[in-house]
Structure 1
Amino acid sequence: MIAAIGVGVSGAAIGGAAAAGPSADPVATLRADLNAILANKGLDGASYGLIVRTASGKVLYEKNADTRLEPASNTKIFTSTTALNVLGPSYRFNTTVLDDGHRHGSVLVGSLSIRGGGDPTLLATDYDSMAAAVARSGIRAVTGNLVADDSFFDNVRLGVGWAWDDEPYYYDAQISGLNVAPNTDYDTGTVIVDTTPGAVAGVPAHINLVPATGYVHIVNRTTTTTGTHSTIDVERQHGNNTIVVNGTIGRGFGTDREWATVWQPTGYAADVFRRALRAHGVSVAGRTLLTKTPAGSTRIATHTSATLADIYIPFLKLSNNMHAETLVKTMGAVRAGHGSWPAGLGVMRPVLQGFGVDTATSVQVDGSGLSRMDYIPPRQFSNALVAVQNRPWFRTWYKALPIAGAPGRFVGGTLEYRMIGTPAQGRVHAKTGSLTGVSALSGYDVDADGHRLVFSMIENNVANFDPETVEDQVAIRLAEFSTRPGALHGIPAVPATRRGPVGVDCRTLPEARVC
């Protein structure tokens, strides 16, 4: 054990290990320690539940395990496992370019269409490749319109119970069947706003968009200063594509990078594609229409995504909300013929029941857990966690989960800075969850005897306390669990370096991706 430097409500040390006596019942000792951890004053007035089971499903500990709680991003456990079961780890998204006219030399007399298949990983470079394919086909001019077809999904862009004041921010982007992401974190439906200082103090800063687009309008209210700090704030106005950039940036600061969502992302994707066409010498005379591809159109090119197995690394490691929602709608489109939340959730329900989940005890209205209308008991998460171990795709999914204390955003993910230097480091593969007043951690822990344990903990209505302290103590204590004489017991310490800034709402830190 590391030194007792964990922090409770009062800031006092909480932790310290002792060796259990040779006659102590290890399970009884574990239960006593978990009760002591949950007695933290920081949870007074909060609602919470915890369940711990063996890999085979035997319950070792439970407290309030059947209480319905807001799970935040733990909801992705249900979404990601059912999607692997329904779509398979080798599933790929397709985006297709088509024409509906006839050609006179290099002129297409008709319209050019780009039809989305829900791919949440499309980059500007992918649109460039598709534009290059159009040019290689011999087309240099299109007399008709550019059709952007997002009909693989319905036109409901935001989920039930999502907070209206969150929608300008990267974690709450609109869902479309035709997307573009600005980076290889694949934050689909967002644009990166880079702000750099001007040449001299007193002038406005320079603002650059990634990818380049004219689909959003920038209002620059920035000022360059002589310092080395930045107070830049980026926010898209609700209901439109005006992005206001406020604040100051010092000459010695470098680049301030922020993310903003885009209103109506289909049009954003079409704008990026039109620019790519122009760059490859292909002009489109008509307007951009957001509608279905005309019947009888002929395929020119298709972009195929990476496999679902590969996409799951950024999805689960970084807890990408938009990927989760895309998967729900894709399941609906593939299995029920309708790419909507109700259809996708309807496909998920019997699969979850096959995992031993009692869906009558739970409410799930989206795929990511952004909704405040999701209510799921810890026991039901544990049922799924036990059941999926026997699925052929389990290793793919287990690898994609965040790993406690493992360096690297695409390895440790949202657990990269937690439980470092403790017995839980490298042993916990689990999904985090965080909303204001909500925290959760559910997954797997390897105990001191090398046996896998299953656990699920959710806390709601938490105020003026960091609940991840308790979650980490639970996970560390499970990693210490052993049936051997003299095993460690007690309330474990939590390292002070377990993550980044303490007390900052995760949703304000796009680079942290901790929701």
Structure 2
Amino acid sequence: MSAPRSLVRLAVGVITAVSVMTTAAAPPANASPDDPGLRTKIRSVLRDTRVAQGRTGAIVLDASDGRELVKRHAGWGIIPASNTKIATAVTAMHTLGPGYRFKTEVIRRGRVSSGTLSGNLYLKGYGDPTLRRSDLKKLAGRVHDAGIRTVTGALVADSSFFDNVGYNRTWNTSYADDYYAAKVSGLTLAPDADYDAGTVRINYAPGSAAGKPARISFTPKAARSYLRVSNKATTGKRGTRVTFAASRTYGSATIKLRGKVPRGRSTGHTLITVARPDLYAATVFRAELTRAGVAVRGTTKARATPAGHRTVIARDTSMTLSKLLVPFLKLSNNTHAEALTKAMGTLQGRPGNWADGLSYTRAYLKHLGAPMKHVRLHDGSGLSRGNRLTARGLARVLYRVQRAPWFDAFYAALPVAGNTKRMVGGTLRHRMNGTRAADNARAKTGTLTGVTALSGYVRGRDGRRYVFSMLSNYSGTSPRPVEDEFVRTLAARRR
């Protein structure tokens, strides 16, 4: 079977890019290090019992020429957790381009006469994981500006840009209500500035007296009319601890609230996923239409926009991909990774899906020099425990992309060790603080139960830049502190 034309074009483009990006062929796996002192120090770090008891692959490259300076089981296929996002990010930058933007459209079908649209109004999503209520408010205002005051038909949520498989089949179903495992939809909505798409924020506070129901509200507020909620949360006695919890079982639309919120406690909040991100977004949009002076007489439902005569009356576009990389990588946002993966999949001419999107990721990794024998990819975020990457493969990718025209944006989006500013340090803001790695190392973290990973860049005391990767699967004590020592050793190195 021949490869799809778009993948053939990708492969040719990647080969060309790699030939430009590198001044020499990839270094052989057994390249001799020119710094035996570094090799001795790193091997000493990796002899830690927390590494020896698990399954760890690690490698250090000279960032200037790609030579392997020291390695330990660098070719092992290991569950990478969120280090998978490195592969997703660089592939999206190459395939979609740093200027890529998601969009959302409002489409009418039918004639408008005297302010009345005789037909349906469609809210069509193109996978934007950054869409917020404020964006829907602007879209509603543009519908009003188009002269529409009444819609005789329905408000229709169109999520058909992506397929209807919202929850990856390799994800643990126990994650279903966790904010980091939201369903991936062509039309979705984020309740916060972190762009946690596909979730709603639940705000809780104590009631008027112990034993009374806890006070509950939602962000966005209009989401309440979509949600199915079973509230058994109550007010606890003053001085007791908060036990409030929200849950939603896999396959259910009902959000269950339980536990206690003690008197004297200020308001708290939590995020939970929704069962239908498309209808959630459309419900909030309907409320914004009402506020804008547009009445919809029909119901809110989900369906693809029919082909044929239709008119786009409003459009919203997201930030560029180069800017989206910041919340995506700094905060390790899983939904961003999956939206980008499915967006790449649409280049095959079908609704975006994991299989098509991941074919681009595999192709780009291969042509960047990553050995593919042990690579397994089931998603773009790393939430799947079926994923496998190698430390050598990730390091080669990080080395090769240094010459890509968009590298500066990718590098700037990586978490910065020890920098406590949330959108700078990200998931590394409380690690390696006060060491030579702080405000120096830029790397992607990875975490699942029994999995920790760290891959990126760091400069030694003499200004030499290193590329490093350390992936660990373990069943005992986490080797995460060893990761930090691994990077600190590189940061302190001076030849």
Give the one of 396, 399, 413 matched to 1:400: 413
Kindly report which structure 2 residues correspond to 1:412-423, keeping only aligned pairs within 5 A, or say none: 412-423=425-436
SS at match of 2:87: helix
SS at match of 1:410: helix
Give the one of 38, 42, 62 matched to 1:34: 42
Give the one of 321, 345, 349 matched to 2:362: 349
In 1, Cα distance between the equivalents of 2:258 and 2:144? 41
Residue pair 2:153, 2:298 contacting (<8 A) in 1 also: yes
Are positions 1:362 and 2:375 aligned together? yes
- How many angstroms does 1:90 deviate by? 1.0
SS at match of 2:217: strand
SS at match of 1:76: helix
Residue pair 2:437, 2:491 contacting (<8 A) in 1 also: yes
Q: Partner residue of 1:217?
A: 228
SS at match of 2:373: helix
Residue pair 2:204, 2:267 contacting (<8 A) in 1 also: yes
Residue pair 2:34, 2:69 contacting (<8 A) in 1 also: no
- How many angstroms does 1:336 deviate by? 4.7
Are positions 1:307 and 2:320 aligned together? yes
Are positions 1:384 and 2:397 aligned together? yes
Q: Partner residue of 1:252?
A: 264
Stretch of structure 1 that moved more, 142-151 or 347-356: 347-356
Q: Partner residue of 1:325?
A: 338
In 1, Cα distance between the equivalents of 2:415 and 2:348? 29
Are positions 1:432 and 2:432 aligned together? no
Q: Partner residue of 1:88?
A: 97
Q: Partner residue of 1:458?
A: 471
| Percent of aligned pairs sharing the same letter | 44
Instruction: Tell me the amino acid that sits aligned with residue 234 of structure 2.
Output: T
Kindly report which structure 2 residues correspond to 1:219-234, keeping only aligned pairs within 5 A, or say none: 219-224=230-235, 225-227=237-239, 229-234=241-246
TM-score by length of 1: 0.87
In 2, Cα distance between the equivalents of 1:467 and 1:253? 37
SS at match of 2:468: strand
Q: Partner residue of 2:78?
A: 69
Instruction: Tell me the amino acid that sits aligned with residue 196 of structure 1.
Output: A
Q: Partner residue of 1:473?
A: 485
Cα deviation code 1:406-437 (max 9, x no counterpart): 12110000000000001110111000000000
Are positions 1:54 and 2:62 aligned together? yes
- How many angstroms does 1:74 deviate by? 0.1
Residue pair 2:123, 2:158 contacting (<8 A) in 1 also: yes
- How many angstroms does 1:61 deviate by? 0.5
Q: Partner residue of 1:45?
A: 53
Residue pair 2:176, 2:249 contacting (<8 A) in 1 also: no
In 1, Cα distance between the equivalents of 2:35 and 2:184? 46
Stretch of structure 1 that moved more, 305-314 or 229-238: 229-238
In 2, Cα distance between the equivalents of 1:294 and 1:459? 49
Are positions 1:154 and 2:163 aligned together? yes
In 2, Cα distance between the equivalents of 1:134 and 1:229? 48
- How many angstroms does 1:26 deviate by? 8.5
Stretch of structure 1 that moved more, 100-109 or 346-355: 346-355
Gaps of 5+ in 1: 1-24, 484-515
Give the one of 447, 456, 476 matched to 1:443: 456
In 1, Cα distance between the equivalents of 2:455 and 2:386? 19
Residue pair 1:46, 1:461 contacting (<8 A) in 2 also: yes
In 2, Cα distance between the equivalents of 1:94 and 1:379? 37
Give the one of 251, 259, 270 matched to 2:282: 270
Instruction: Tell me the amino acid that sits aligned with residue 366 of structure 2.
Output: Q
SS at match of 1:52: strand
Instruction: Tell me the amino acid that sits aligned with residue 215 of structure 1.
Output: Y
Are positions 1:204 and 2:217 aligned together? no
Instruction: Tell me the amino acid that sits aligned with residue 190 of structure 2.
Output: A
Stretch of structure 1 that moved more, 319-328 or 195-204: 195-204
Give the one of 236, 240, 245 matched to 2:248: 236
Instruction: Tell me the amino acid that sits aligned with residue 132 of structure 1.
Output: G
TM-score by length of 2: 0.90
Residue pair 1:133, 1:300 contacting (<8 A) in 2 also: yes
Kindly report which structure 2 residues correspond to 1:133-144, keeping only aligned pairs within 5 A, or say none: 133-144=142-153
- How many angstroms does 1:331 deviate by? 0.7
Count of aligned residue pairs for this structure pair: 458
In 2, Cα distance between the equivalents of 1:127 and 1:166? 28
- Cα 1:26–1:406 shift into 2, 3 Å: farther
In 1, Cα distance between the equivalents of 2:114 and 2:306? 22
In 2, Cα distance between the equivalents of 1:458 and 1:131? 47
Instruction: Tell me the amino acid that sits aligned with residue 361 of structure 1.
Output: H
Are positions 1:292 and 2:301 aligned together? no
* Structure with the higher helix share, 1 or 2: 2
SS at match of 1:412: helix
Q: Partner residue of 2:186?
A: 177
SS at match of 1:79: helix
In 1, Cα distance between the equivalents of 2:350 and 2:494? 50
- How many angstroms does 1:285 deviate by? 1.6
Runs (4+) off by over 6 Å: none
In 2, Cα distance between the equivalents of 1:93 and 1:291? 20
SS at match of 2:416: coil
Instruction: Tell me the amino acid that sits aligned with residue 36 of structure 2.
Output: A
In 2, Cα distance between the equivalents of 1:338 and 1:359? 27
Cα deviation code 1:56-79 (max 9, x no counterpart): 211110000000000000000000
Cα deviation code 1:259-306 (max 9, x no counterpart): 100112111111111111122221212222311112211011000111
In 1, Cα distance between the equivalents of 2:174 and 2:66? 41
Cα deviation code 1:444-473 (max 9, x no counterpart): 01111111100000000232x232101000
Q: Partner residue of 1:493?
A: none
Q: Partner residue of 2:122?
A: 113
- Cα 1:77–1:336 shift into 2, 3 Å: farther
SS at match of 1:360: coil
Residue pair 2:459, 2:491 contacting (<8 A) in 1 also: yes
Instruction: Tell me the amino acid that sits aligned with residue 381 of structure 1.
Output: L
- How many angstroms does 1:364 deviate by? 0.9
Residue pair 2:76, 2:374 contacting (<8 A) in 1 also: no
- How many angstroms does 1:167 deviate by? 1.1
In 1, Cα distance between the equivalents of 2:249 and 2:95? 38
Instruction: Tell me the amino acid that sits aligned with residue 222 of structure 1.
Output: A
SS at match of 2:232: strand
Instruction: Tell me the amino acid that sits aligned with residue 199 of structure 2.
Output: T
Cα deviation code 1:162-219 (max 9, x no counterpart): 0011111001100000010000100000011110111222211111111121222222
Q: Partner residue of 1:7?
A: none
Residue pair 1:100, 1:112 contacting (<8 A) in 2 also: yes
